[in-house]
Structure formats: structure tokens, C-alpha cells
Structure 1
Amino acid sequence: MISVLIPIFNYNTTPLVASIHQQLEMLPFNFEIICICDASTEFLSENESIKSYAHTQLISLKDNIGRSKIRNLLVEKSNYNWLLFLDADVFPKSKLFIKKYLDLIENRHSEVYCGGLIYKQEKPKSEKILRWVYGKKREEISVKRRKERPFQFVTGANILIHKSVFNSLRFNEEIVNYGYEDVVFIEDLKLNLIEVNHIYNPVFHLGIENNLVFLKKTKEGLENLYLLNSKNILKGENLKLLRTFRVLKILKLTWFVVLFFNIFEKLLEYNLLSSKPYLLLFDIYKIGFFCTVYNAKRE
């Protein structure tokens, strides 16, 4: 009935698989758990124990194929019609996490369900505080608010989708660099008028990167966002950053934003890497970097 699909890259996913497997075994439904390790170099021995669970397989790739291709490959390997995508660094809040999804499958009011993402209440160490603050403020969204903007607050870290819907769209394999492949997929859902049903069935996001890594990945993602947008792969109507950029472009103010960013980049980073980062400054940093990428590509 259900295939749980987990892409892995340099993360110990055994606790997640153990929890999900225990929940699945208590229910009278056919299931499988498929994990694909995308050429990881870390936690290899820890993840080997995944193979010991019934109806569970771990596939290890020699070459890294990227975040889009690995999700498509997971579906190709699956045997059941309902697909539950979970990121490797999450953990279900409830011991009834799987049961809640299976109840929805039996009733089948929708083809796509998003359970949501939450973060632990306790603050991490200061070197990881930026990612935690961002997650608490920008990703931990109430069901009510998610329902108001159903295509803006979808997370691929915890999503249940019928295979027929997935196969009609699939992840765009033109996307080989880091970032926004899930946003493209969600935008395709919207363009194809496929409803996303938001529910409260969250997972904790546990893989909190340190501030420097998060900032680096943010910039890599923004470079990819520019590429996807310039190729018209991603229109980004649900992305505030792109909407802001378009206004600046119309007003011919991108040069000013770039000038501001060049002057204040280090000061912005000083705050973002501190123990008290402000998300408003993070937003300014991102639009400044994005405009810098735009100007550089034009030259």
C-alpha cells in the first residue's frame, strides 16, 4: 500500500528507519522502506544496519546523481501506489505518524498530503543558531496558515503523494545544482491544478547545519534559483525574493542593491554568524546576493 522513500546524503538515518518501521509493522498494510544513499562518504557503517529491517532496502550509489534524480529513482524502485517522501534528517513527532497517513489513504480525499515541519524548542549552540531561527520562523508553519497559501508552504521533507500524480510530473532532472528542485515540483503541482491537502502530522527537522555551512548553501541555492528562473524552469510566483527582485528590476534599482551589498556584506555576515541573527538582515543579505548574481551574469 505504501512506499516510504528516503534519500540519504551523509546522515545517520537508522533512527528514522527504526521508528518508521516499528510503526508500519503494527499496522495491517503492505509496506516497504527504500533508502538510496547518494554517494555518501559519512555514516556508512551506521546506515548499513538499515538492511536488517524487513521489507526495507538500502541502495548505495557510487556516483552522486543529485536531489532531483535520486527522488525519481526512489519512485522507480517502489512497488506501491502511495509514496511517502521523508528527508533523511527528520524524525516523526507522533508514534501515530504512519497511522495518520494510512487513515488518509483509506479515505482518499486528496492525492497529495503535506504533514509539516517543526523544530525542537531548545536552542542549539550559537554556531548553529541561524539555521534554527530560520526554521522556527520560516518553516514551522501552522496548518491554518499553510492552508491559506497551500503551494507556498509545502515541504518535500514530509509529503505523501499518489504515484500516478508523481509520475505525471516527476522531479525535473535538468536541475543538477543545489536548491529549489522541490519548489519547481510544487509549482508544477499548482500549474496542473493538483490540490495539496495540509494536515498536522509533523516531523522534527534534526539536521541543523552550522551557520557558515547554511550561509554557503543559501548562496549556492540562490545561484541555482537565478539559473532556474532565467531558463523559465521556475517562475517563482510563490517566492517573495523573486517578487522583490522583479520590482527592483522594473525600478532599475538592482545596481543600488548591489552597491549596498558590496559595502555592507561583511557587516551583514557578522550578524548572521552571531548568536543573535536577525532574519530581516538575512532577507536583505539574500536579495543583495541575488542581485549581485544577476548583475554578474549580465556582464
Structure 2
Amino acid sequence: MNKSISIIIIGYNTAADLKNLLCSINRLKPVQYNVEVIYIDDGSTDESVKVFEASNLNFSKLCYKFDKNRGRIFARNKGIQLASGTWFLFLSSNIEVEPELLNEYLNATKISNALAFMGKIKYTSPDSSFQWYLNHRRRGINQLKNLEFCNYRFLLFSNCLMHHSIFKKIEFNTCFVDYGGEELEFAHRFNQLYPNKIRACSAAIATRINHPGLLQHSERLEVFGKTNFRLLNQRLKVKIIRYKFLLSSAFCYNIILNIVKMLNIIYFFKIKSYYMIRLIMLGSLLKGYFTYQKTQNHQTEDPQ
């Protein structure tokens, strides 16, 4: 395992994006490491596997395809199982990496004794106001200097480097089959085992192409509120929503919901406000959370 790195890519029906990612990987500056590229296809029905197999990569490559869509957790766990590197670089298929990305990560490993490094992600989106929010200096590692301590909540597996030894002790929780929360839950357990072992690597840059706009993202957050959010422990739920009382007060939720309805009207006019967008997203998550709760209450009251 001496001086080797495994690039683990997961994807589902993202053939065009995958092709762009692979082209950007071929533009990576050379490093003094053995590099393998592993693509885990999560049961795609498009040409994703053919795109990967036809790619003329500068590195060794390996492809594995599930016979059906199983979710990001199973795909990542499979990639980890197949990887042979000292370091695992996790990438999503819908990003493009900058040429210096590998060099920046590997330089960071020589300077720091951290076990995980979070790279910078730039975003493009058809929703210009939401793109502005996604790239805001207050979000994630945008507020951190290179190699500064990184809170586990900022760890995203679209662009991060982790030491192989981590996965001998923990893996992704396969209970999280729907959208969201699985990365936070894993990062929390990782931080408990290895406190303060995550660093920002803001010079290792990737771009997330065509991130959904606020409306579509809010719909996903509503699904998250109904599903994976409920699987998180209380501490992590509060990390996400900031205020614990919001989880126990339907009255407060109704107030927020009415505010969010007004904010959505304001947002339609492309007014850029960091906190307005955050409140809209919070409202969507809580809507899903309380909708599920009401459904369960009705089923309890009327078992027929």
C-alpha cells in the first residue's frame, strides 16, 4: 500500500457528467503515487458503464455495477471494499476536478497528520441566486484557510481524501437508503473515534456541475425530513436545525411554514439573502418531518 491512492467514484444515470469528470481526471498533474480509478455504478439504465469502460484513462481502472439501484451508501461501501490505496479520494460523478487537485491533497498529507481532508467545492446551478448561496463564504470550508481544522459537519464525499485505515473500524450505515444525512452520521462517528483529525484542503478544488435550484433542493430536503433525518440521533438533528425546540413544537413549525411561504414569493424575484435561503430550506425539512409525524399519529389513532 506504499504511496498509492484510490479514486472512488459513484454514479447513477450520469453518463454525460461522468465523461466530463473522467476527462478532468486525465488532466490531473502527475504525482509520485500509484493511482487507480474505481467506478461504482449504482444500477444505471443509461450508458454510464460504457462511458467508463471506453475511457482512455492515464491510470489503472476498475468498474463494478449493481444489478439494481441500491443507494449511495452501498455504492461507497463497495468502492471502499475494492480499493487498494493508502488514501481514498471520494468523488461524485457530477463534478469536475482541477489539475492540481491530487498534488494539493498529497502535499497536505505530508504537512498534516490528519486522517481526512475536505476539498473545496465550487457550484454551478441554473438558479443564479441559489448558486450564489452555495458558494457563499459562510458555507462549509469556504470560511476556512488551507489546512485549518475542519468541523466534521463540513465533510462531504463529493470531494474528500481519507486514509484507508479509517474504514477498518467504521463504514457507512446502510440504514440510510434515502436522501441525505448519511455523510453527517458517518463523519460524526469518525470524529468520535479520531477527534480533530479532519483538515480543510481548500486548494484541492472541484466544481459541482448543475446543482439543482432551490425549489428542487427544497423538495429533496422535504423527503430528507420524512426519512433519513428521523434516523439521526438527537444531537445530529439539532446540529442541522440549530434549535432543539423546533422538533417538539408544531406551533413553531406552523409559524415558520407561513414565513417560508412569504419568503418563497420574495425569492421568486431573485433577491439574494443568505439567511432567507437557509430559512426556506429549514422550513422544507421541518415540513417533511412533521408531515411524517402527523401521518404516523393518524395511523395510530385509526389502525384500520
Q: Name the TM-score, length of structure 1 as normaliser.
A: 0.81
Q: Pick closer, same or farther for the CA change 1:8–1:131 going to 2, 3 Å.
A: farther
Q: Identify the residue that residue 132 of structure 1 maps to in structure 2.
A: 131
Q: Pick closer, same or farther for the CA change 1:101–1:146 going to 2, 3 Å.
A: closer
Q: Identify the residue that residue 239 of structure 1 maps to in structure 2.
A: 239
Equivalenced residues, count: 284
Is 42-51 or 148-157 further displaced after alignment?
42-51
In the alignment, the residues of structure 2 paired with residue 238 and residue 151 of structure 1 have an alpha-carbon distance, to the nearest angstrom, of: 14
1:206 to 206, 209, 221: 209
2:22 to 7, 10, 17: 17
Q: Identify the residue that residue 230 of structure 2 maps to in structure 1.
A: 227
Q: Identify the residue that residue 196 of structure 1 maps to in structure 2.
A: 198
Q: Identify the residue that residue 186 of structure 1 maps to in structure 2.
A: 187
Q: Pick closer, same or farther for the CA change 1:130–1:173 going to 2, 3 Å.
A: farther
User: Residue 36 of structure 1 contacts residue 59 of structure 1 at CA under 8 Å; is this kept in 2?
Assistant: yes
Q: Pick closer, same or farther for the CA change 1:48–1:197 going to 2, 3 Å.
A: closer
2:66 to 52, 61, 81: 61
1:217 to 194, 216, 220: 220
1:1-299 mapped onto 2 (5 Å cutoff):
1-11=4-14, 12-23=17-28, 26-42=30-46, 44=48, 47-48=51-52, 50-53=54-57, 54-93=59-98, 95-105=99-109, 109-119=113-123, 125=126, 128-137=127-136, 138-139=139-140, 141-144=142-145, 147=148, 150-194=151-195, 195-200=197-202, 201-229=204-232, 232=233, 235-236=235-236, 239-241=239-241, 243-244=242-243, 246-248=244-246, 254-276=249-271, 278-296=273-291, 297=293, 299=297
In the alignment, the residues of structure 2 paired with residue 205 and residue 37 of structure 1 have an alpha-carbon distance, to the nearest angstrom, of: 19
Q: Pick closer, same or farther for the CA change 1:140–1:151 going to 2, 3 Å.
A: closer
Q: CA deviation at 1:240?
A: 4.4
User: Residue 180 of structure 2 contacts residue 229 of structure 2 at CA under 8 Å; is this kept in 1?
Assistant: no
The C-alpha deviation readout for 1:136-194, integer Å capped at 9, x for no partner, is 12346132399365223222211111111123111111111111111111111211134
Q: CA deviation at 1:55?
A: 0.7
* SS state at 1:152 partner: helix
In the alignment, the residues of structure 2 paired with residue 68 and residue 45 of structure 1 have an alpha-carbon distance, to the nearest angstrom, of: 19
User: Residue 141 of structure 1 contacts residue 153 of structure 1 at CA under 8 Å; is this kept in 2?
Assistant: no
* SS state at 2:21 partner: helix
* SS state at 1:84 partner: strand
Q: Pick closer, same or farther for the CA change 1:76–1:272 going to 2, 3 Å.
A: farther
In the alignment, the residues of structure 2 paired with residue 28 and residue 262 of structure 1 have an alpha-carbon distance, to the nearest angstrom, of: 54
In the alignment, the residues of structure 1 paired with residue 36 and residue 155 of structure 2 have an alpha-carbon distance, to the nearest angstrom, of: 24
User: Residue 271 of structure 1 contacts residue 278 of structure 1 at CA under 8 Å; is this kept in 2?
Assistant: no
Name the % identity: 19
Q: Quick one: which amino acid aligns to residue 153 of structure 2?
A: Q
5+ residue gaps, structure 1: none
In the alignment, the residues of structure 2 paired with residue 56 and residue 69 of structure 1 have an alpha-carbon distance, to the nearest angstrom, of: 20
5+ residue gaps, structure 2: 298-304
Q: CA deviation at 1:22?
A: 4.1
Q: CA deviation at 1:247?
A: 3.2
User: Residue 113 of structure 1 contacts residue 196 of structure 1 at CA under 8 Å; is this kept in 2?
Assistant: yes
User: Residue 2 of structure 1 contacts residue 83 of structure 1 at CA under 8 Å; is this kept in 2?
Assistant: yes
Q: CA deviation at 1:45?
A: 7.5
Q: CA deviation at 1:217?
A: 1.4
Q: Quick one: which amino acid aligns to residue 218 of structure 1?
A: L
Q: Root-mean-square deviation (CA), in Å?
A: 2.9
In the alignment, the residues of structure 1 paired with residue 52 and residue 185 of structure 2 have an alpha-carbon distance, to the nearest angstrom, of: 32
In the alignment, the residues of structure 2 paired with residue 51 and residue 34 of structure 1 have an alpha-carbon distance, to the nearest angstrom, of: 12
Q: Name the TM-score, length of structure 2 as normaliser.
A: 0.80
Q: CA deviation at 1:42?
A: 4.2
User: Residue 108 of structure 2 contacts residue 147 of structure 2 at CA under 8 Å; is this kept in 1?
Assistant: no
User: Residue 6 of structure 2 contacts residue 37 of structure 2 at CA under 8 Å; is this kept in 1?
Assistant: yes
Is 63-72 or 43-52 further displaced after alignment?
43-52
